[in-house]
Structure 1
């Protein structure tokens, strides 16, 4: 079995602990945490499982990597600390580990990634013999393998639209929701995640990756943005109160322009409460979230995926499917040559050995 470390126990890390524990080819070897209050706690508790796993969380990075794990699921955030995340990941690769992570947006399309991200990873691979696969939590499969797979069912293709429709009211990452995305701030606040060029920095790699797979040249990548204020104050279970008049919903697109037209589009529709911007796209059953792919052409194809986890929490379900893509790739990566991989390299495979597994 492949000894596997989960590094970080937030929204992604919780799901990663469960995914590693359920995978028949993997063995959870260690859990790394930053919060000293989590040190010594059992991984099963941190992962939201009903039983202990006999693995206690530690903050001793050196000791964990010195044990030469076969794989690391790097679940710590890279949103506001990309340099630190890159350094952490490089350490794990130099230790010889296969690393899977959603933390480094520029490496979604690793072939066209900026040298300041790509070169250190390639150097770490050359030094230690590990590998890296980066895929998103938005989720990555919804903006690469799923639309590309479905496009193969069409006769003619006019365009591809990937939608994430998401209600943040059950999400547990308040700093990102309030400050990076701007929910609950005044409409004059300029959230970092919505600043010009930032959506392209985050999702442009997936646009380029899809264009590469489809064999088309992009003229440009463009952005659109709409914001809506809350009509009434709302209270969320995980993040408290959001006042009327503050930002309550955001809709933006990252558009891949082909022949002067937006042909490959990643669209995000996010709300802090379902009552805001009711005229924008919503999940088909009015739930917390959904991921939708629309292939315009002949025939027109529309596929909507809804996932729940941790009860009926669709935000956790989206994280869990994104983690499933990453964790499910580990044994393939271990068998492959050391290298830097993207979603077009790593196959999405059946869940062999996991049917009926608790």
Structure 2
């Protein structure tokens, strides 16, 4: 029997997911939620460049809640503040629908009880499961990096560095809003404001989940963010970044664990990779210091130089989310996370 799926949001990520759902032999699309009025009332196939499906998109959450579905693929753009989506997600969960999100919810216990408790209560009320799945957060640190630490007889430090090429991104709201590009560092320190709080909330979940996999709790997280100013006007599809304003952000956190092991997670978003010759293009570099030392490089690309760099990451994120459907649907009520791979452990018990 096919799994009944609702697609929530149809931006770049959501449209990709919508196509995968329509094309998948084991999934049945039963609903589509959209934010814009111009998409409401349109057939899902039209939104996804597929033949008509008979499923009509709606911007009415009550209509979505009334549907009989096994899982909601929750893929809105992440928003300020970080908990802005929680009320909608809690309603979905309480209505009996499992939720897989690419916009957070990777490890709610990383936050205070006032954040996690309403979501946990909604899972109990709806006999449902909440999962945050994706590439980063979701896979690079929590699954690949942890597995690599299992090669170590001793472990001191893990350094994960990501580079995201934003030069082809067309969304003005995303590039100049959520990425912070174009901000004037003389008047707006984005490394110590709402954006910094948003990304600290999101990526602290990665660090706490990795620490749980190491069976070694976090005792502190220290930020060290940096910006790069544009050396000239930079013309992007989303608009022009004026000279002297923010053209790249490096969000960086170091978590210290109870044993003294440290984990550093660094994410570089740049309007021009040439500004950072020391960093790769669209990849992750992972340095594990211990006995022995281990270095990993992970690249995700289309194999087509003409393709937008973001497309490959979108494809991978959606693939991870859809692959997780069977496990999430079968999981007990509550917060879902994949079991940690055999990672480094200082104690065997």
Same fold (TM over 0.5): yes
Q: Does 1:330 align with 2:325?
A: yes
Q: CA deviation at 1:194?
A: 4.8
Q: CA deviation at 1:132?
A: 0.6
Q: Do 1:155 and 1:299's aligned partners in 2 also have CA atoms closer than 8 Å?
A: no
Q: Does 1:14 align with 2:7?
A: no
Q: Do 1:3 and 1:69's aligned partners in 2 also have CA atoms closer than 8 Å?
A: yes
Question: TM-score, normalised on structure 2?
Answer: 0.86
Q: Do 2:103 and 2:132's aligned partners in 1 also have CA atoms closer than 8 Å?
A: yes
CA–CA distance in structure 2, aligned partners of residues 3 and 89 of structure 1: 18
Change (3 A) 1:335 1:258: closer
RMSD over aligned CA atoms reads 2.6
CA–CA distance in structure 1, aligned partners of residues 137 and 109 of structure 2: 20
- Residues 218-238 of structure 1 show CA distances to partners (whole Å, capped at 9, x for unaligned) of 34211112211111112112x
Question: TM-score, normalised on structure 1?
Answer: 0.84
Q: Do 1:28 and 1:55's aligned partners in 2 also have CA atoms closer than 8 Å?
A: yes
Task: Give runs of aligned pairs for residues 66-145 of structure 1, distance below 5 A.
Answer: 66-80=66-80, 82-104=82-104, 107-136=105-134, 138-145=136-143
Change (3 A) 1:208 1:68: same
- Residues 209-253 of structure 1 show CA distances to partners (whole Å, capped at 9, x for unaligned) of 11111122434211112211111112112x021111111112231
Q: CA deviation at 1:165?
A: 0.3
Q: Do 2:19 and 2:50's aligned partners in 1 also have CA atoms closer than 8 Å?
A: no
Q: Which runs of 5+ in 2 are unaligned?
A: 342-349
What is the aligned partner in structure 1 of residue 344 from structure 2? none
Q: 1:184 aligns with which of 172, 182, 185?
A: 182
Change (3 A) 1:9 1:345: farther
CA–CA distance in structure 1, aligned partners of residues 323 and 338 of structure 2: 12
Change (3 A) 1:114 1:77: farther
Change (3 A) 1:44 1:235: farther
Q: Does 1:271 align with 2:270?
A: yes
3-state SS of the aligned residue for 1:140? coil
Q: Does 1:316 align with 2:304?
A: no
3-state SS of the aligned residue for 2:86? helix
Q: CA deviation at 1:318?
A: 1.7
